[in-house]
Structure 1
Amino acid sequence: MQPIVLKTEGFRWDSVSLGEVMLRLDPGEGRIHTARQFTAWEGGGEYNVARGLRRCFGLKTAVATAFADNPVGRLVEDFILQGGVDTSLIRWAKYDGVGRTVRNGLNFTERGYGVRAAVGCSDRGHTAISQVKHGDFDWEAIFGAQNGSRWFHTGGIFAALSETTPDVASESMDAARKFGTIVSYDLNYRDSLWKAIGGKAKAQEVNRELVRKVDLLLGNEEDFSAMLGIALEGVTEDFDELPIASYEKMLRDVAAAYPNLKMIATTLRTAHTASRNAWGAIALYQDEIVHVPQREVDILDRVGGGDSFASGLIYGILAGKPTDWAVRCGVAHGALAMTTPGDTSMATFAEVERVMKGGSARIAR
């Protein structure tokens, strides 16, 4: 495996993300099907990484996405602005008044508690970003002007939105690589999306091609199996029983199949209940394994934990930290993100460092 080599000259952004940003409607402690009120947030697998890099780690980030130009789209834009992420790459689609041709995505999510698992119900058909096609974004200008961006992040959720989004993902990766931008990709398998355009067979066809253009690949054991056909051996219902060697073999199998990859990382999660998980990670970089063992964490809202792991890991790489530090940063940031509501991280860098050092939850006054 080759090392990750970053741009060192002037650049406009530290990282750019490509993906859908939806309006999340959260019933809090209640259930979606009995709720009488919802709290609104923004969220999206690829966007969450950009926001975490900006708000927790203070880097310059942007999101390339699209919205129907109506009050709902402008509300999501307002959330993005509050998060400090550059909105200059957003495309606005003319709204027809009722959403027959274009609309903005809604994501109803309940957090779960104890034996009651978290539940997500997405309403995202015909969204503006799902309709983008090759040539809609000027990637040459995005990555070439003002030295572009040091990093580019997208993922399998965006690629699954429609028949055209894989072409956009491929086009964006080609441009990023042309200008020396590191590309990361989170497999993030979503059966509800892929089954609409061909199921697992289509997911593997698309992702096997896209992963050949990637530097850092992220995913969990289900993602690698569903999207690439590379399974974790000896899987049982109790992941606690699996030795870490099984995960190491899976990462090495992925590396052997895709020699272009410079780093592969996966989170380790054992969900004892919806509100208590064991959480850790394992990564492969330059043929060396870095393992952060699982530790018990209390969960308020697990959605976005993997995205916050990704942003913490990417920050460590961009900051020039050792690989072990970067992986531990990802684990700590992900753990903290799951202690607050919504998809996006509310953690501070000081809190991340404190968790990395093993700090307690004693009150800070």
Structure 2
Amino acid sequence: MTEAISEGLTALGIILFWISLTAMVGLYFSIKYRKAGAESWFVAGRRLGLLILWLSLGANIYSAYTFLGLPGYTVKNGVKVLAILIYGQLSYILAYLITPKLWELGKAKRYVTLSDYFEDRYNSKLLGALTAIVGALFSIPYIQLQILGIGYIIESAGYGLLDPFASQLIAFSLIAIFTILGGMVSVAFINALQGAIMLITIWGIGFLIPMIRYGGIGPMFEAFESVKPSMVLFDNKLIIWTATLAIASSVGFWMWPNRIQGVFTAKSSDTVKRNALALSFFQISQIPIILVGLTAATLYYQGVLKLPKPDYALIEIIKFTFPSWVVGIAGAGAVAAAISTAAALLHTSGALFARNAYQRLFKPEAKERELVMAARIFTGAIAI
């Protein structure tokens, strides 16, 4: 057995173990809550505490982009990527002010989707259905991106030993099964698990790589500036771009229906408020990833590191720096990011179609059991 195959099997074994563990946890909650009522399937019975809410919503928000697109964007654009840190923090300031009040409205009026709010606020079932359909349909491409991300991660972290399509099919099939059966309860607890390994991976490797490769963050920046001086400067155009990005993105951040549906799962408005503060830690966790991206960029432009694609930067530099078992842990963290966001989007899309299109427009007399069944059918249809 060659060294490359041995390394690939080690990394793949860890990643597949994590996917299997995720599947077992998902299966447990799917069986336990297969006969759950509508509020349990849609918003986990509004009983999640701060820890589970924080980890699950953080994993929901921070997708495969964190491990693929963010370091890839850093390789291509340098310090311009720092603008992303600004809009995320602004969005959590808005969340601190807005989401507790929205939760209180949701609790009082039994909202289970963001479209319930629009329907109630403007007294229009048609508007509620329209926002639901648009929200669900425009979530589908993002679900597809997560599936694509799983393939990229397995291909890179697995040293090319496993066919990306097979890994995508297996992972997404498992996501679909536990989402359809267990609803938000399964999604919340699975995502809490994913959020934990994401943070462990990010903080475990983020500061080590520039230390190992250049002796520190400062020397890494000096090396990067020496090979790409144009990518460490902000000009006037970048300042304007950063300001508009920060304002527009922070205002639209909480228009994602899966994020607000996650907020509705909290047990109290105080939990929602504290969660808005805690979520900023996930945003700060982008910093170690950016440092890894900058280190990879420096090595790449120096001709030391080969990158098949910029989006492979994080996994490739980990392979270049650490043994295969670390690559496996990092790959598991990256797969976790994709799984968590895909599960949340899939669940929310099915919920929107069932609640605000099917029930509100065509079957207002539908009982809880029928509504949950409709949501499961719509979720399955979207998954297919």
TM over 0.5: no
Q: Which has the higher contact order (CA 8 A, sep 6+)?
A: 2
Q: Looking at CA atoms only, which structure, 1 or 2, has the larger radius of gyration?
A: 2
TM-score, normalization: structure 2? 0.21
Give 1 or 2: higher strand fraction: 1
Give 1 or 2: higher helix fraction: 2
TM-score, normalization: structure 1? 0.22
